Chains A and B, each alone.
Chain A
Amino acid sequence: MSEHEYTPKSKAGKWFNDRLPLLTLGAHLTDYPTPKNLNYWWTFGGILTFCLITQIVTGIVLAMHYVAHADLAFASVEHIMRDVNYGWLIRYIHSNGASMFFLAVYIHIFRSLFYGSYKSPREVIWIIGLMIYLLMMAAAFMGYVLPWGQMSFWGATVITNLFSAIPLVGDSITTWLWGAYSVDNPTLNRFFSLHYLIPFLILGLVVLHIWALHVPGNNNPVGIDIKKPSKDTVPFHPYITIKDAFALLVFMIIFAGFVFFTPNVLGHSDNYIPANPLVTPAHIVPEWYLLPFYAILRSVPDKLGGVILMFSAIFILFVLPWLDTSKVRSAVFRPIYRQFFWILVIDVLMLGYVGAMPAEGIYLVLARVGTIYYFLHFIVVMPVVGYLEKTDPIPMSISEPVLTGGAEPSLARKINDKV
């Protein structure tokens, strides 16, 4: 990857590095040439790494005090909140950390959509990223079950019942997932085990995600390849590290605001009622970050259809690199796609909003319109706009952000063809 081979200065360092080239790896990571025009939307990779580490560390700590048993789980969480030294702080960081994690990952995903970071040659980065996202949802869902409150219990019941929509074997699968004839103690126990496992799978995928990133290098806001590394890039350290640090601190201020001043605002008050298999809460909703999918699920009047559509909404993203036919990566130079991008953002926000509302009347209509548009965007808009759109002139290189004069479409098209 790096053009020059790194040799450690000290003898001991060289001895070690010959046997395990950790120092070469370290040098690669510090010197890694990064486009110098990256904007703040690119800082969310670092922020997400911080989120993952925070969740793992606080999670390990919580597991030291938590008891995964239907009769004791709720009480053990209260024990953490009341008696364990700094238990309240650690738990609130963990529970709000999940929301912050998703906030960051959504910005990260939409950044990729806007600047075309999923396009060739970065398809594998994108797919690994989606796998991370799927695992995050699984981890978050199982984590939400652990306090064994009303929302935990009924959320688990509803989500696991999705699998009962599968023809023929559905019921057997649900029973197998539960380990009982309803969500019960065995379910809680296995969810705890998996909730502990998944973050480490995510960690492994993050390593692959970054590895795959370091092969072609970063995309950038202009979306063009690096022409002259000396002019177009900066070493990752200190330029990107300090920028990431600054953005991370701003993010942490918001994070701290939630943890210290409104720690329960993102949760649901019903989850402070111990699980009761006899009573379902009046209004049952998933955590905010799953609401758009929940809206899609409920927009279909058929059980199996809803489940299929909901999973399709995620899996369609896996083939996105091949649905997008445009040769230009960045939406900065795609006037038509750019409009559709923002419509998609509004569409997803709207789906999230109606997902929190009762599935009736105007909300059901909005959910259906939103669902239809969501799929139209990927299946129709992306391929068609990619073909028909007349893109804006693209700069020659990163160090010349604006094409001189801007009135040389022939030159722009030439570059366009090359990309």
Chain B
Amino acid sequence: MSKEEKKVNRRDFLFTASYTVGAVGVGAVIWPMIDQMNPDKAQQALATTEVDISNIEPGKSITVLWRGKPVFLKRRTPEEIAEARAVNMDDLPDPQKDEERVKEGKDEWLVMLGVCTHLGCVPLKDKGDFNGWFCPCHGSHYDVSGRIRKGPAPTNMEIPKFEFVDSNTIKIG
């Protein structure tokens, strides 16, 4: 290797190193600028809500706010449960058994995120072709288990993480 080549090599190394180290720094600066838009610590801390369900009659439902979104709590009648369980899996765009959508032994309680899986509107209760919910925005029909039956929505309405604190209280999140 000639002297001239060595010189060039060292120069190349220096420039590459400077650019690389500089790029790492720019990346490290960009991250805080992006992360600041994520939910902050106060938002994260509000992740759970407790709901009193002692006043809900069979066949009725209530809507509560959790993380800024509506959650539907429906106390279903035995007929409605039977209807939900009689559906043929082949008729479902997003096949899921009703049993998988409720807590075992608490079959009457359907707790789900009241947000249409199409584009985020809130479906109307006791409407649509399947005795469940109907989304007015783009015409998605959900059944009494909150499963998508007809319309543009791709999946069933989401079941949030929840648990029964006692027989009268549900903790969502």
Cβ of B37 within 8 Å of any chain A Cβ, yes or no, is: yes
Q: Is the interface of B mostly helix, strand, loop or mixed?
A: helix
B26 to chain A, nearest CB (A): 12
CB neighbours (8 Å) of B41 from chain A are 82-85
CB neighbours (8 Å) of A57 from chain B are 33
CB neighbours (8 Å) of A82 from chain B are 41
B42:A85 contact, CB within 8 angstroms? no
Contact of B40 among A61, A84, A89, A90 (CB under 8 A): A84
CB-CB contacts below 8 Å: B38-96 with A: 38, 40-43
Contact of A86 among B32, B42, B43 (CB under 8 A): B32
B40:A87 contact, CB within 8 angstroms? yes
A42-84 Cβ-contact flags toward B at 8 Å (1 or 0): 0000000000000001000100110000000000000100111
Contact of A89 among B32, B37, B38, B43 (CB under 8 A): B32
Q: How far is the CA of A83 from the CA of B41 in the complex (A)?
A: 5
Cβ of B4 within 8 Å of any chain A Cβ, yes or no, is: no
A86:B36 contact, CB within 8 angstroms? yes
Cβ of B35 within 8 Å of any chain A Cβ, yes or no, is: yes
A90:B32 contact, CB within 8 angstroms? yes
**Chain B residue nearest in CB terms to A87:** B36
Number of interface residues of B (CB under 8 A): 10
CB neighbours (8 Å) of A61 from chain B are 33, 36
A83:B35 contact, CB within 8 angstroms? no
Contact of A83 among B32, B37, B40 (CB under 8 A): B40
CB neighbours (8 Å) of B43 from chain A are 83
B40:A64 contact, CB within 8 angstroms? no
CB neighbours (8 Å) of A89 from chain B are 32
Identify the interface centre among A64, A83, A90: most chain B CB within 10 Å of its CB: A83
Q: How far is the CA of A82 from the CA of B43 in the complex (A)?
A: 12
Q: How far is the CA of A82 from the CA of B32 in the complex (A)?
A: 14
Q: How far is the CA of A79 from the CA of B42 in the complex (A)?
A: 9
CB neighbours (8 Å) of A65 from chain B are 36, 40
A55 to chain B, nearest CB (A): 14
B16 to chain A, nearest CB (A): 14
**Chain A residue nearest in CB terms to B37:** A64
B3 to chain A, nearest CB (A): 23
B142 to chain A, nearest CB (A): 35
A85:B36 contact, CB within 8 angstroms? yes
A213-247 Cβ-contact flags toward B at 8 Å (1 or 0): 00000000000000000000000000000000000
Q: How far is the CA of A64 from the CA of B32 in the complex (A)?
A: 14
CB neighbours (8 Å) of A87 from chain B are 36, 40
CB neighbours (8 Å) of B35 from chain A are 85-86
* Chain A to chain B contacts (Cβ below 8 Å), 20 pairs: A57-B33, A61-B36, A64-B36, A64-B37, A79-B40, A82-B41, A83-B43, A84-B36, A84-B40, A84-B41, A85-B35, A85-B40, A86-B32, A86-B33, A86-B35, A87-B36, A87-B40, A89-B32, A90-B33, A90-B36
Using a CB–CB cutoff of 8 Å, the interface residues on chain A facing chain B are 57, 61, 64-65, 79, 82-87, 89-90
Smallest CB-CB A-B distances: 4 pairs = A86-B32, A83-B40, A83-B41, A83-B42
A84-B40, A84-B41 known, 13 other contacts, Cβ within 8 Å = A57-B33, A64-B36, A64-B37, A79-B40, A83-B43, A84-B36, A85-B36, A85-B41, A86-B35, A87-B36, A89-B32, A90-B32, A90-B33
